[in-house]
Structure 1
Amino acid sequence: MSEQFSRLTNATVSNPAEYGPLREQGPLLRTVIDGAELPVWFVVGFDDCKEILHDSRFIRDQSKLPGAEGPSLTDEILKQVGMPREYFKYFGLLTLSDGEEHTRLRNVVARAFTARRVNALRAGLERTASDLHAALSAKGEGDLISELGYPLATASICELMGIEEADRPQLQDWIMELATYDPERFVPAVRGIVEYFKDLIARRRSEPTDDLVSVLVKPGGMDQDLLVEDVIISISLLLTNTGIAPPAYFLGQAVLSLLSHPDELARLRTRPELLAKHAVPELFRYATSVPTGGPLYAAEDFEFRGCPVKRGDPVVPSLVGVNHDPKQFSDPQRLDVARDLGPGIGHLAFGSGSHYCTGAGLAELETEIVIDTFLIQNQGMELAVEPDQLQYFDLPGKGTLLSSLPVRF
């Protein structure tokens, strides 16, 4: 008897208004999401998702399962975009690892995201945001994703990693190509990034500076047995890809959310003290920077809240779904810049547990600075098109993202 499962479009995955019927089907929904043809268990409830993210019976590395066969979801998506297999090894190193291996890799990445290093970026990012606002307002119009989100996020992550300013425009262009998921653009961009970091690693080995790559390649340094060239390239690709594209699109979505809720924007302008502690966390809950979390795999056969999960079954958390769960949030489809999300973070936009996003603090800082610069300190910016004319594009098997945010000043 063939397995029964539903199909979800990427647009549905990213639309909180369509989650009502999905919640009625139980804590886990067996489905296929367009662009990734493997059936998954889709998680839409806040408590269910948080429990799974902390449950040791779910792991990230499918290859560690006894008798594991077939491609992982990550491999399936790379195959869909025509990625040569020789490049598969550079994807998912940290997000698809578990246990001691993950802890060691995460500790390496965390060196770039200490609170001290992130806080030290504030003044520079404020200047960058102010300069970008001045340039856009002088022009009278622009796209806040390509002309604000991407350059600001690129400046942030490259400053943390120590990538020279002269190299940043090319790196930004490659990351923008990756976000298209167009094989004719995606594959050359990955090749370019890999070759760039091979060259940078060689340069830092011969002439080290005070940056992250120099620390990673330093002979006799911490975790040197772990940090072979392929691993350093994987870490660098992870940091630049996740540190540029998701924040760039989220910043556009966050601004759109406030422009679409003029009463809440007026409230925030009247009470700017709400920005950091209430409005920014609420924007991450409401707009959610990425629609779905990374896949997990059942390490054994068991029942999860009545659902028969088999060993090897992939489980995908819907971050949009859990952040709009009416059992967790009052009136979840309403943006409330004064919402109290309770102790801790209060949302799952950055995940939870051992795989909690290491760049969360940087993402929050970027959002605070952009909202303050573009919507509080400076006013008068508005959408240049009607909301129903905005364009979105598919992230295969993951949801959709806003393509551009045309505004005028």
Structure 2
Amino acid sequence: MTEAPATPPAPFAAHVGKHPGEPNVADPALLADPFGGYGALREQGPLVRGRFMDDSPVWFVTRFEEVRAILRDQRFVNNPAAAAAGGTGQDPLTRLLDMLGMPEHLHVYMRGSILNNDAPDHTRLRRLVSRAFTARRINDLRPRVEQIAEELLSRLPEHTEDGVVDLLPHFAYPLPITVICELVGIAEEDRPQWRAWGADLVTMEPERLARTFPAMIEHIHELVGQRRGALTDDLLSELIRAHDEDGDRLSDVEMVTMILTLVLAGHETTAHLITNGTAALLTHPGQLALLRKDPALLPSAVHELMRWAGPVHMTQLRYAAEDVEIAGTRIRKGEAVQLLLVAANRDPRHYTDPERLDLTRHPAGRAEDHVGFGHGMHYCLGASLARQEGEVAFGRLFARYPGLSLAVDPDDLQRAAMPGSWRLTALPVRL
């Protein structure tokens, strides 16, 4: 539907094409058409040899059955040190952080993230925050999510220029960032700064990261210090209590990285689910008409939009903790695998007519039949919140503005050249 910029993010462009026959995730062709490009790799085989952004070798896992199996296979770990990845050399995570210009003394904050931990640490950290994301807590949040959505939608006309408004900064981003910041306990006056930091991080530009990441860490430390003197019922206060009552449950570094992860992951991907989904519906009027006719389709619609146009196209690297055979291919201990969610979610071996957007594809009451939110131990902690925000966003947007239409040709929509991510840089519409 769209074409991404041809230039991959620095400093990874230099590695593209260095190994003919081994696709690189920063390849401009894959950035421009990940559905077609990774789909072609899927048809080559369930595992295909390729290269990560830093030029390190990786196994691309392309098909639904194999992707889902590895996601729940604890022989594959997120922490490269646990798999002795890289042998005697620098492990891939350290090499990537160095390439991104991350100051060495801050590496510990990336390594301390729940995203880079495996059991038992991952289990311990997840348990500390999981109460905030139970079905009951999320359901209780719905009236507030609806209120925020209505407030944002009512103000859209104030942001129009020549009848056009960009939904990304005026609806898709502020909805989830307001919700997650209220849940965590980030003050309203600090939220624009978090939005700006998030925008810096996704550029993957070392100069910006070298400024932004230290500023974020310092800010979180200050935030913790301020809140410690006036604890409330938000998630930040719960983490502080866990840290202060028992340092073995949550270290200082883990607390900081947990806040960082929750706020950024809690709004970035949801914002792009909303914009990707809106663009998909506006370019598939028959499917939009189904949704207008039957709003009860909203939960199914969110699942299908996550499958068909989800913002996350691949997981972070995982590493074999021992020799493992997958689909007839031997993966050696320490070797990296890249799970291609974008290829798995359109695998014709699993789905009938997978290239077709079909809001009725996921019947109510059935188990989740896509890997857009992952699977297994590292299944997205905030998936239920993201789904709810998507249901509210699509339902309220199209009800409030029944004549909504794209303000540009679909082929003119621009996307960020970010490997593994499918995100619009703007979504101009007419109300």
**Equivalent residue letter for 1:328:** H
Q: Residue 40 of structure 1 aligns with which residue?
A: 58
Query: Which deviates further from its counterpart, 50-59 or 8-17?
Result: 8-17
Q: Residue 183 of structure 2 aligns with which residue?
A: 160
* C-alpha distance in 2 between matches for 1:219 and 1:270: 48
313, 317, 322: which one aligns with 2:344: 322
Q: Residue 336 of structure 1 aligns with which residue?
A: 358
* C-alpha distance in 2 between matches for 1:136 and 1:144: 8
Matches within 5 A, 1:268-283: 268-276=291-299, 278-283=300-305
2:123 counterpart of 1:103: yes
* C-alpha distance in 2 between matches for 1:229 and 1:78: 21
2:123 counterpart of 1:123: no
Q: Residue 187 of structure 1 aligns with which residue?
A: 210
1:115-146 C-alpha deviation (Å, 9 max, x unpaired): 23322221222122122222223433222222
* C-alpha distance in 1 between matches for 2:318 and 2:346: 21
* C-alpha distance in 2 between matches for 1:90 and 1:232: 10
* C-alpha distance in 1 between matches for 2:79 and 2:146: 39
**Equivalent residue letter for 1:100:** P
2:22 counterpart of 1:6: yes
Q: Which runs of 4+ in 1 moved over 4 A?
A: 2-5, 219-223
State whether residues 90 and 237 of structure 1, in contact with CA within 8 Å, keep that contact through their aligned partners in structure 2. Answer: no
Q: Residue 232 of structure 2 aligns with which residue?
A: 209
CA gap 1:379/1:18 in 2 versus in 1, 3 angstroms:
same
CA gap 1:244/1:320 in 2 versus in 1, 3 angstroms:
same
Q: Residue 80 of structure 1 aligns with which residue?
A: 99
* C-alpha distance in 2 between matches for 1:376 and 1:346: 28
1:332-388 C-alpha deviation (Å, 9 max, x unpaired): 111111113683111101111111101001100110011011123421111111111
Matches within 5 A, 1:3-402: 6-8=22-24, 9=27, 11-12=29-30, 15-33=34-52, 35-66=53-84, 68-91=87-110, 93-138=113-158, 139=160, 140-218=163-241, 224-276=247-299, 278-340=300-362, 343-396=366-419, 398-402=420-424
How much does 1:219 deviate? 6.5
Unpaired runs of 5+ residues, structure 1, are: none
TM-score by length of 2: 0.88
Between the aligned residues of both structures, percent identity stands at 38
State whether residues 61 and 96 of structure 1, in contact with CA within 8 Å, keep that contact through their aligned partners in structure 2. Answer: yes
**Equivalent residue letter for 2:107:** F
Query: Which deviates further from its counterpart, 130-139 or 12-21?
Result: 12-21
* C-alpha distance in 2 between matches for 1:323 and 1:25: 16
* C-alpha distance in 1 between matches for 2:35 and 2:314: 12
How much does 1:310 deviate? 1.2
Q: Which secondary structure state, in structure 2, belongs to the residue aligned with residue 393 of structure 1? A: coil
TM-score by length of 1: 0.92
Q: Residue 3 of structure 2 aligns with which residue?
A: none
How much does 1:168 deviate? 1.6
State whether residues 5 and 39 of structure 1, in contact with CA within 8 Å, keep that contact through their aligned partners in structure 2. Answer: no
CA gap 1:157/1:55 in 2 versus in 1, 3 angstroms:
same
1:270-318 C-alpha deviation (Å, 9 max, x unpaired): 1111112x11111111112311112110112232221121111111111
Unpaired runs of 5+ residues, structure 2, are: 1-17
Coordinate RMSD, CA, aligned: 2.2
State whether residues 303 and 362 of structure 2, in contact with CA within 8 Å, keep that contact through their aligned partners in structure 1. Answer: no
1:154-213 C-alpha deviation (Å, 9 max, x unpaired): 101111102222222222221122122222323322122111110111112222222222
* C-alpha distance in 1 between matches for 2:91 and 2:198: 23
CA gap 1:118/1:308 in 2 versus in 1, 3 angstroms:
same
**Equivalent residue letter for 1:111:** R
State whether residues 288 and 323 of structure 1, in contact with CA within 8 Å, keep that contact through their aligned partners in structure 2. Answer: no
Q: Residue 13 of structure 2 aligns with which residue?
A: none
| Structure in which a larger fraction of residues adopt strand | 1
Q: Which secondary structure state, in structure 2, belongs to the residue aligned with residue 6 of structure 1? A: coil
State whether residues 242 and 250 of structure 2, in contact with CA within 8 Å, keep that contact through their aligned partners in structure 1. Answer: no
CA gap 1:256/1:219 in 2 versus in 1, 3 angstroms:
closer
CA gap 1:55/1:5 in 2 versus in 1, 3 angstroms:
farther
